[in-house]
A and B are shown apart, each in its own frame.
Chain A
Amino acid sequence: MLTRLVVVAVLAAVVAVVAWRARRPADTTDAAGRRVPSELVGDTDRTWIVFSTPFCATCGPVEEQLRQRFPEHDVRRADVEQWAATAIDLGVRRAPTVVRVDRAGSVDLVLAGPDAVRGHLGLAALT
């Protein structure tokens, strides 16, 4: 029994270490002021770029909420694999991460994760 307890303790320690290293990043990044490629920038005063992945189930609702809330702005979807260099430069580690840029492509707002977007838009839920 003691041996088994030791095995379980070691297993728990390994899981704890991996869990610590894999913990979620904060909901914001320090990307403000950086620029995104012109292909991602629309013709409006502000463009919302939704960085997504093929498995992101909340990216679609987030994109739709942004379109409804900001009809005067362009809303675009960017797959993080297709735009890997940009995503890395902006510190994108969660999907969706929403980036708002001006006409020049300069980032002035970054919202990482659906909770951050929900909080910014004052929504109760994105489901």
Chain B
Amino acid sequence: MAEAPTPIDPRGPRFNQAVLATALVVGFLLDLPAVAPVFAVVLLLGAALGPRYGPFLRLYAEVIKPRLAPPTEMEDPRPPRFAAAVGVAFLGSASIAFLAGAAGLGWALTLVVAALAALSAVTGLCVGCEIYALVARRRGLTLTA
């Protein structure tokens, strides 16, 4: 079994999700389809390379977190990274839809990501993380830190 990674401050991913939800909604309101590929790349950087490479995760870690009290809860980093990967898939698909001229489908996919990101930012309920949890349980993977 692989060694469990170091737990992270869950407020980092939540800040990232708040920025993501806001940007996607603003992009929708202003009819800026470019918001989908741009944030697909933003999510991809954090999901594939780690929080140091996610622009808003890094902004949180270096600028916001030092001004806050220490976190009272920590979380395993793998579920939010998986959730970000799901977001990349949705926003990537949305980008392709926009390129193909299917703007309605593109915005539908984009708004799904926006809604789930907003839900996660507001409540901490991360649907992608729950999916990861289900898969992990079926594989017998223990993620306790």
Contacts and interface: CB of A to CB of B under 8 A. Distances in A.
Interface of A: 1, 4-5, 7-8, 11-12, 14-15, 18-19, 22-24, 52-60, 81, 113-115, 118, 124-127
A57 to B, nearest CB: 4
Interface centre among B31, B111, B118, B133 (most CB of A within 10 A): B118
Q: Contact size class for B?
A: 20 to 34
Given A15-B119, A15-B122, A81-B137, A58 B74 contact: yes
Given A11-B111, A52-B144, A58 B123 contact: no
B54 interface: no
Contacts of B25: 8, 11
Contacts of A55: 75-76, 79, 129, 133, 136, 143-144
Interface string B39-79: 00000000000000000000000000000001111111001
A24 to B, nearest CB: 8
B136 A14 contact: no
Interface of B: 7, 25, 28-29, 31, 70-76, 79, 111, 114-115, 118-119, 122-125, 129, 133, 136-137, 141-145
Nearest to A59: B144
Contact of B74 (A81, A113, A127): A127
A4 B72 CA distance: 38
